[in-house]
Amino acid sequence: MKAIKIQRESQLITLGLNRIILLLIFLSMISCKDNSIQKIEPAKNVNKLKKQLKDLDNEVVKTPSYDESYIKKLEKRIANKGNVEDFQELTDYYFGESTSKLEFLPICRIMADKYNDKNASYYIYIILEKKYQTSCQLKEPYLCMSNDDKKDAIKYLKKAMKQGQEGAKLKFKTLVKKGIM
């Protein structure tokens, strides 16, 4: 009787171990299946990105020629209509080229005053700051500005801040930290 009881316990233990082994095999198969899916998807994404890059290489990108007549045309459209896209294009031209930023100042004033463009207000501050940057021996060009330029710079910096221009907010905080404002 004792032998039958021990044999039965042995069978139950073996049966329990078999179930545990089957469960472990099943779980490992599921986890392998999930890992294989994760490995395949990035490969598909890489191939998709390569195709997109190849397509971009095949496209012809047209850039406007920045001759004087084109610049004048943009300036006229900005002055008459407050065209934001044209203003951004001129911004790219004046801040991207080695041109005098002071030439851009009147257009910025039109966009800031007539059309309440927050970026134009901030650019006025930036342009006035750049005007003094090379000649100013101090770390902060604002300190070297003439009184009229200081008034203008602060007026437009504050206007840009009120309109939510993030660069203006950061610049103002910097000036306050330095004890300039």
pLDDT single digits (tens) 71-84: 899 999 999 999 89
Query: What whole-number distance in Å separates Cα of residue 24 and Cα of residue 19?
Result: 9
Query: What whole-number distance in Å separates Cα of residue 48 and Cα of residue 55?
Result: 11
- Mean pLDDT across 84-105: 84
pLDDT greater than 50 at residue 39 = no
- Report the first-to-last Cα separation within the chain, whole angstroms: 98
pLDDT greater than 70 at residue 100 = yes
Task: Look at residue 179 in the predicted model and tell me its pLDDT.
Answer: 82
In angstroms, how far is CA 154 from the centroid of its own chain?
Answer: 26
